[in-house]
Structure 1
Amino acid sequence: MYKAQLERIQEKLDKLQALDPEKNLFGAENHQYEMAPICTLDEIKAFERKWKIELPEEYQAFLLVIGSGGTGPYYGLEKPEDGIYLVIDYGDELNAISEPFPHVESWNWDVDWYDDSKEEEEWAALEHEYYDPKWSAGMLRISDFGCGVKGLSYGEIWTDDRANSNGIYPDHYMGNTERLGFLDWYELWLDRSINELNEVL
């Protein structure tokens, strides 16, 4: 079903790597244009059973054909098993990925985070509630962009930007106005990256 797009993506991946031998593209120093090994269908099904989720078909297709992590937008793609954790680089708190995603539209609190009138305890309680995993339930983290993360909310790419007090919203970081599925999002990143490198050459 996704054969033609996956073939296109692989060709663009090869082209991108050839255009950037010095790894100057943002994030390339991190992912080194390397992909983690592809998943088998059995591995995907075992992951889904373990976490009581069903990965979107196009994301599964990518895992089966292109790779399970590595080269990708921002600092690169995370492996599915790393995306279950709430906080990047801290494997001690799980996100509630099997719970329903609570948002249909962009979500944030209308809070003045620079309000000096609140006591320290009040701020601590507010922050604790703001970062509660219930707000990002149903998201599988797939990419790190510094102070935030990109995640799959059944089939759509969303941004958890609470670290910048910007809430959770459909991803529009690459100039897209529509909500994107995984493959279109990834291919858009490839196209923009190739154009960026061609402009430098």
Structure 2
Amino acid sequence: MLFRKKETQLDRIKYKLEKAMQKDTAFLVFGASSHQYKVDRKLTQKELTQWQVENQVTLPESYAQFLTEVGNGGAGPYYGLYSIGKAASYTASHALHSKCVLYPEMTKEDWNHLIEPLIRDEDISDLEYEAARERVLGGMLCIGTQGCEYDMYLILEGTYRGKVVYTSDFHPDHPFFFVYEEHFLDWYERWLDEIILDYDITWFGSRMPGDEQALIQVYQNAANREMETKALEGMFKFKKVTQPTIEFLISAAEQSQHDRSTAIQLICKTSIDAGRELLLELMHSERNEDFLQALNILNWYGKSADLTEFIQVILQSLDRVQDPETLRHVGYVLESSGAITLQNFAPFLCHTDPNIQTAAIYAARNCSNKSEEWEIMEQMLMGSDQKEVLKHTISYWGLIPHEKLLPYYKAVWPEYKNQPHFREKFIDCLKELDLRDDYFDEQ
């Protein structure tokens, strides 16, 4: 009688690598085009032993197994995994075998104290800076990059040996993030699982693992609000959720003010119609942060939905908009529906706050028939910073061809006439009004 060899995690990973490649043949998953699900040549046990002796480091078992059984770098989360040689080049050799000083749930105070020499001391020498940097990154191996200043490290020494850590630049109040998995192979296998399940893995590993039912159970059994929030936010990796999960989220939104906006966002990610009533409640809330969240949701997920009812509420609520950020998001939603007019945006276009005015000018850039509303333009130009207003309107609108506005254009003509791109706009305006090209040069 034949017995099948017991399947190991490494066997599963090799199989799932093939499945992931079959799932993402166009390499649409973030970073896939750089590694194409191919791993580099495996290390021999002799090569691994030699590296560890030379660097005085014993690698965590799960990572060492990957190097010798799967590949020495290549396919992996984000832009893929570095080879062991490249990984080691990011940390000084002596720092590799020091103890890692980072830990999960590191307080902002401890983090700020740790990185203080890196961000506060302007007179620090290069040697002192490197020593401070090695203290933060010591005991860790840089196994890959997520892009920009974000990297992935593996802890080599200390209490959390084997854990993967996501780093960013040394920002105050932002300690590095420890992924949920206990060791490298679990983290790597989760990456493959989420590709195969067609999850959104743009920020892979930063959200709580688990399927819909598992995350609902975590939420329902959570001992504190922080855990509830993490369980809900873990659902953002699902491109859509099932009807039972939508019903759970509606209940969470109705019962918890703390989780209300997150639950509504998750519902609307699947269906604006399913979250319509809750979204309207957010829009009618007296809290500006609720109104802004509703605008964000409409901008993110409302592209293919009927937004007529929401547009009406936004237009009726314009007088409550008091800051540039909210106005920008109002503009994003209204623009896609063609609902912005110079008349309804006139209070913002003529606002005394230059930031609100600039946001309004940008939002109204696609309004038609601007020349018919030249009075609004003239009122805008009567403000204290006429040149700045003209700069933004010319950049976003071009020159509105109306004879009443010519004196304002003529006043700034000397500043723009030697810039070909802008000069062309001035000349086109004159042609539309049947005026000579040298009109602005006349005394």
TM-score of the superposed pair, with normalisation by structure 2: 0.37
More strand by percentage: 1
Aligned-partner Cα distance in 2 for 1:24–1:32:
10
| 1:148 counterpart (116, 128, 150) | 150
1:82 partnered with 2:86: yes
Question: Across the two proteins, how many residue pairs are aligned to each other?
Answer: 181
SS in 1 for 2:8: helix
Question: Is contact 1:100–1:137 with CA below 8 Å preserved after alignment?
Answer: yes
1:183 partnered with 2:191: no
Post-superposition offset of 1:84: 1.4
Q: Looking at CA atoms only, which structure, 1 or 2, has the larger radius of gyration?
A: 2
Give CA-to-partner distance per residue, 1:86-139, whole Å, 9 cap, x none.
37xxxxx6671111112233362179x9xxxxxx98456499479611111010
1:159 partnered with 2:166: yes
Letter in 1 for 2:135: K
SS in 1 for 2:99: coil
| Change in 2 beyond 3 A, CA 1:54/1:133 | same
Question: Is contact 1:95–1:136 with CA below 8 Å preserved after alignment?
Answer: no
SS in 2 for 1:34: coil
Task: Give percent identity, aligned residues only.
Answer: 28
- Residue correspondence of structure 1 range 94-173 to structure 2 within 5 A: 96-105=95-104, 106=106, 108-109=111-112, 122-123=121-122, 125=124, 128=129, 132-146=133-147, 147-153=149-155, 154-162=161-169, 166-171=174-179
Question: Is contact 2:55–2:93 with CA below 8 Å preserved after alignment?
Answer: no
Question: Is contact 2:151–2:166 with CA below 8 Å preserved after alignment?
Answer: yes
Q: Gaps spanning 5+ residues in structure 2: where?
A: 1-5, 156-160, 201-237, 240-443
1:69 partnered with 2:73: yes
Aligned to 2:414: none
More helix by percentage: 2
Aligned-partner Cα distance in 1 for 2:150–2:94:
15
Letter in 1 for 2:36: Q
Q: Gaps spanning 5+ residues in structure 1: where?
A: 88-92, 114-119, 172-177
Q: Which fold has the larger relative contact order, with Cα–Cα distance below 8 Å and residues 6 or more apart in sequence? A: 1
| Change in 2 beyond 3 A, CA 1:136/1:195 | same
Aligned-partner Cα distance in 2 for 1:124–1:189:
43
What RMSD in Å do the two structures reach over aligned CA positions? 3.1
Post-superposition offset of 1:168: 2.6
